[in-house]
Structure 1
């Protein structure tokens, strides 16, 4: 009996250690200490590169409460008509849960309503936005799930725009980190989530709306610049935060974490300390030994000792074999960055004297996109983002 008890104790201890002390970014475990949080699931990501720096139960499919509104906001920004006011329907008016207390029939600009959505987590705003952009809640939820597929969020499915508990409504810590890293490259989204106080016209009263951001990280952590809080009775406390230091932006995610403010501080400190962002090449820099220049600046976060193992491989295109029309504009190939046998990114190279394209939203660069037109910028960003994760997984 005593042997069985000891065996059970050892097994339980092993499970506990596996749960509490997950491995950091792949290939960096021998140089980076462990990290503990109180969360059921957690993830930490570098925004520029999309590199996952830490994950604990990162693919577990869990309730995410109002973290849902990160997807709601980016879908609304990319699909919404900013020239038409958002009208509050009967369905949006008096929506259960957190609210910005919109009146039935009230009209507000989509931009202002997005502030109410993200700063005060208004479920009434979420419903009104969904109906405005998607024609109905159901139509908008379809757009949300299409966006999830587009970004490769394989452990996410949305059933509503607010995050209220519902069957079939879930995501994972890793997926939320990917989604947020994508969204933070949108200037409007980035500006909204870092705003501490927003005032908006109130057509029903003599005073303006005033929305104070519920995200305490903006006040508790140096360099904090987002993103979203969440809570329901079934999801418990959920939080996505972001911070920028020395030009590097990180995203931290915790799901079901009773000590999330402190845990996010630890996670962000961990990322900045052990995975600082390094510049590998700069736009316009000459390629040694060739009459070529690189088309984009490329940055990547490395743990100690990793950068020394990086390989840069120049791959030149053959016009005769590939028939690439864009070669006539100076594109000659690409430099592939390989770390421990894995491709972490690519940067196109151009003939010296060529007009270099405008930088894309993030690295690695997808040189097949060509010049980005405003109408296709969101789609192009999504394609680059999806390719980035496919290359790394």
Structure 2
């Protein structure tokens, strides 16, 4: 009797240890390591963090700051505006594009100097022009960070210089920011440029800038984005690459081996987390006349496709959403965790035409459409300029 009980217990343990229902098996890509103190790997389209080390720990980010500076300026400034170099911007310490006092340059051109050569003089001039003052622009940077969902970041200047103790961002936050910024074609064009010539009003020859980001030449498919270094932050790097229609971003903070680590992490992401179509625009929803209004792809490791599930809810015919054309929502889950919601429409609906252009999500289960800062950029700029038109003595008081 005792032997039978023992035998039963042994078999129960064996089954518990080795038997897992196939529908619940989770993929487990091999481990990978880097020399970085903080690191993050993100899929741009979905916003899924694929790998991180101390991803939510705020750290010094040096000139990676200029990613935020650039996207805020692009969204809220007028690219054809002439930006005048003030005394505050002229001769700014650290990396520079050597702008002259009083020199004027198109905002669009100056953004190339900001991102390709990491000009701190350009960062200050852009901030003063777009935000009315450096303080006003920093306010805009932090508002943008909140809207994107950068919960572990705080900006105190537009350049990334080690000024004060509060200027920090986490690796995951910088990954989210870069994924957001790469959705903007102007930003994408600037950070992928290897050589740029810009008119020089002070000389007979043009400015010629070479991109400091070596990944553009070192890694096949590389298309951005920014280098960074200060004595306190050490080597920082954000890179992006696109292969087979999938774009990935890697962030490393305080990494002495950043070029090699970025190549390794990008290869890892493309190999183990390929982008897969989960919902196709125009697909009919079973049991209804409605169709999926927006395509959705997601990076999935081997075995994860079986963990994807969908839940459909239909819109009340008496609601405003219904009158505006929405017929329902399809919620998509990975391992019972909501990763995206896509709208359902009538197949003849005009809303089907523009539906792929909205929604960009970083937080799983929460879609972010155009931010208020982008939509009402001019209004925000005017308000902020008004707020920060104090004299220096009034500000310190």
Normalised by the length of structure 2, the TM-score is 0.84
Quote the residue 1:350 is aligned against.
Answer: 345
In the TM superposition, 1:298-337 aligns within 5 A as: 298-320=296-318, 323=319, 325-337=320-332
Q: Per-residue CA shift, 1:109-138, capped at 9, x if unaligned?
A: 000000000000000000000000011111
2:58 paired with 1:61: yes
Counterpart Cα distance in 2 of 1:268 and 1:93 = 38
Counterpart Cα distance in 2 of 1:246 and 1:295 = 24
RMSD of aligned C-alpha atoms? 2.3
Deviation of 1:285 after TM superposition, in Å, equals 2.1
Deviation of 1:353 after TM superposition, in Å, equals 1.4
2:371 paired with 1:376: no
Counterpart Cα distance in 2 of 1:375 and 1:236 = 32
Deviation of 1:279 after TM superposition, in Å, equals 0.9
2:32 paired with 1:39: no
Quote the residue 2:335 is aligned against.
Answer: 340
Counterpart Cα distance in 2 of 1:30 and 1:42 = 22
CA pair 378-106 structure 1, distance change in 2 beyond 3 A:
closer
Counterpart Cα distance in 2 of 1:361 and 1:250 = 20
Counterpart Cα distance in 2 of 1:294 and 1:83 = 39
CA pair 361-180 structure 1, distance change in 2 beyond 3 A:
farther
The count of corresponding residues between Structure 1 and Structure 2 is 349
Counterpart Cα distance in 2 of 1:238 and 1:256 = 6
Deviation of 1:362 after TM superposition, in Å, equals 4.7
Which one of 284, 299, 310 corresponds to residue 282 of structure 2? 284
Counterpart Cα distance in 2 of 1:83 and 1:272 = 38
Q: Per-residue CA shift, 1:147-196, capped at 9, x if unaligned?
A: 11111211111111000012210111000000000000011001100000
Show structure 2 runs of 5+ residues with no match: 1-23, 379-397
Which one of 192, 195, 198 corresponds to residue 197 of structure 1? 195
Counterpart Cα distance in 2 of 1:186 and 1:45 = 17
Deviation of 1:352 after TM superposition, in Å, equals 2.4
2:127 paired with 1:130: yes
CA pair 141-368 structure 1, distance change in 2 beyond 3 A:
closer
Task: Report the secondary structure of 2:88's partner residue.
Answer: coil
Deviation of 1:288 after TM superposition, in Å, equals 2.7
Which one of 90, 105, 110 corresponds to residue 108 of structure 1? 105
Quote the residue 2:159 is aligned against.
Answer: 162
Task: Report the secondary structure of 1:34's partner residue.
Answer: coil
2:32 paired with 1:70: no
Which one of 43, 48, 51 corresponds to residue 45 of structure 2? 48
Q: 2:80·2:108 contact (CA, 8 Å) conserved in 1?
A: no
Show structure 1 runs of 5+ residues with no match: 1-26, 380-393
Q: 2:281·2:294 contact (CA, 8 Å) conserved in 1?
A: yes
Quote the residue 1:250 is aligned against.
Answer: 248
Deviation of 1:331 after TM superposition, in Å, equals 1.2
Q: Per-residue CA shift, 1:261-320, capped at 9, x if unaligned?
A: 000000000000000000112222222332111111111000110011111111111134
Task: Report the secondary structure of 2:79's partner residue.
Answer: coil
Max radius of gyration: which structure?
2
Q: Which is worse superposed, 247-256 or 326-335? A: 326-335
Task: Report the secondary structure of 1:287's partner residue.
Answer: coil
Counterpart Cα distance in 2 of 1:170 and 1:368 = 24
Task: Report the secondary structure of 2:166's partner residue.
Answer: coil
Counterpart Cα distance in 2 of 1:67 and 1:341 = 35
Q: 1:145·1:158 contact (CA, 8 Å) conserved in 2?
A: yes
Q: 1:156·1:175 contact (CA, 8 Å) conserved in 2?
A: yes
Choose between structure 1 and 2 for higher RCO, CA contacts under 8 A separated by at least 6 residues. 2
